[in-house]
């Protein structure tokens, strides 16, 4: 839909309102600014860990924008962009990185593992692709209840080589669950290149073996990602069953702050993908459409950096979590033995 120079085929242009276009652009800039700041925080020892997503902004923001209220999201650890569009506050993402009193889940998870029940955003888990059968189960439950919602499961190309991928795809195909499998194929599963991930021509074509539709899309084209995801979600809500989407993109940075990609991928490859940067591409589209000019784009980028800086200042200054929170939020109703431990931790007698 969007060409690499930011121009668009007029016949395919979805002609989104300027308000939506600016919303999407701001979220892309915010995600990029969060990446830059979080890596800086980790390198200076102020947070322990971070999973960046630079280069994948269009994939995350475009797919997240296609969701509707009531849909369920089962993310991977790199999908904070989809969470932001979904309505998860920036301060909550940043607070979770610090794991102090500003963290809504009280430091119970490792950094970059967020969740929010109020917007049906299920907790990130570190094991690869375990969220896929969970998402299918949630979709099957919705189908049995007659809920007209869809469930989206995010994962990477490495996740497509797991047993959980097969189990989830097979069950979804057999029972026609309202599930959208969204694979961000960023070309590397940590250090393993896509060419060594599968002998298939694509990940999308694997859907045929399970009896449902697979779609491959340019993951650096926000408009195209939004279109195919919206179509798949609408089909799921209408009872049309699952879809596998493969968004072809590239992870510009490391897998995580524990990784050094210069040890396993050539600089020429990274430089080639940098020419297809999704943020610059969308900015050029907006410029051609008269939505922003160069000065406005830079102002919005600076506003995004300032917003991230404010969130960091607010969250980093929060006190540690209370010791008694260690046993909270484990059960819906706290059992007696945890109640006693909580009393001990708070300084009282057990």
Task: Tell which phi-psi region holds residue 151, choosing left (phi > 0), alpha (psi between -120 and 50) or beta.
Answer: beta
Q: How many CB atoms lie within 10 A of CB 67?
A: 23
- Establish whether 251 is a catalytic residue: yes
Under a CB-based contact definition with an 8 Å cutoff, are residues 101 and 321 in contact?
A: yes
**Which pair of structure tokens corresponds to residue 202?**
């694509």
- Compute the distance between CA of residue 86 and CA of residue 80 in angstroms, rounded to an integer: 10
Closest CA to 159 of 134, 136, 196, 130: 130
Which residues fall within 8 angstroms of residue 100, CB to CB, at 6 or more apart?
107, 315, 318, 319, 320, 321
Classify the C-alpha dihedral 273-155-88-69 as positive or negative: positive
Catalytic position from the list 86, 216, 251, 342:
251
Under a CB-based contact definition with an 8 Å cutoff, are residues 132 and 159 in contact?
A: yes
**Which pair of structure tokens corresponds to residue 22?**
């600016």
Closest CA to 227 of 237, 217, 214, 236: 217
Q: How many CB atoms lie within 10 A of CB 153?
A: 29
- Establish whether 113 is a catalytic residue: no
Catalytic position from the list 3, 264, 288, 337:
264
- Compute the distance between CA of residue 189 and CA of residue 192 in angstroms, rounded to an integer: 5
Task: Tell which phi-psi region holds residue 91, choosing left (phi > 0), alpha (psi between -120 and 50) or beta.
Answer: alpha
Any idea what DSSP says for residue 121?
B
Under a CB-based contact definition with an 8 Å cutoff, are residues 46 and 9 in contact?
A: no
Catalytic position from the list 32, 86, 255, 342:
255
- Establish whether 230 is a catalytic residue: no
Under a CB-based contact definition with an 8 Å cutoff, are residues 308 and 84 in contact?
A: no
Closest CA to 264 of 214, 200, 193, 185: 193
Catalytic residue numbers read 251, 255, 264
């Amino acid at each position: 839909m969007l060409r690499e120079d930011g121009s668009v085929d007029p016949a395919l242009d979805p002609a989104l309102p300027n308000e939506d276009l600016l919303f999407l652009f701001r979220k892309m800039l915010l995600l990029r600014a969060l990446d830059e700041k979080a890596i800086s925080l980790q390198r200076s020892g102020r947070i322990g860990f971070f999973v960046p997503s630079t280069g994948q902004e269009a994939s995350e923001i475009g797919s997240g924008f296609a969701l509707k209220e009531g849909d369920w999201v089962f993310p991977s650890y790199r999908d904070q962009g989809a969470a932001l569009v979904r309505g998860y506050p920036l301060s909550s993402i940043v607070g979770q990185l610090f794991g102090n009193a500003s963290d809504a889940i009280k430091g119970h998870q490792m950094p970059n593992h967020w969740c929010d029940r109020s917007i049906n955003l299920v907790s990130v888990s570190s094991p690869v692709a375990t969220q896929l059968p969970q998402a299918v189960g949630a979709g099957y439950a919705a189908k049995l209840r007659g809920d007209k919602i869809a469930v989206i499961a995010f994962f990477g190309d490495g996740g497509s080589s797991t047993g959980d991928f097969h189990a989830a795809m097979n069950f979804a195909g057999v029972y026609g669950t309202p599930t959208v499998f969204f694979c961000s194929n960023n070309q590397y599963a940590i250090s393993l290149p896509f060419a060594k991930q599968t002998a298939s021509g694509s990940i999308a074509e694997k859907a045929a073996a399970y009896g449902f539709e697979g779609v491959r899309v340019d993951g650096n084209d926000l408009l195209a990602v939004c279109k195919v995801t919206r179509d798949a979600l609408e089909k799921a809500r209408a009872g049309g069953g699952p879809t596998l989407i493969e968004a072809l993109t590239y992870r510009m940075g490391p897998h995580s702050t524990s990784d050094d990609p210069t040890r396993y991928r050539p600089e020429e490859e990274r430089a080639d993908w940098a020419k297809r940067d999704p943020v610059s591409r969308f900015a050029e589209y907006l410029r051609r459409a008269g939505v922003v000019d160069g000065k406005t784009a830079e102002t919005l980028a600076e506003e995004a950096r300032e917003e991230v800086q404010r969130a960091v200042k607010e969250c980093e200054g929060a006190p540690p979590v209370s010791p008694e929170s260690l046993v909270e939020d484990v059960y819906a109703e706290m059992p007696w033995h945890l109640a006693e431990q909580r009393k001990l931790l708070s300084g009282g007698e057990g």
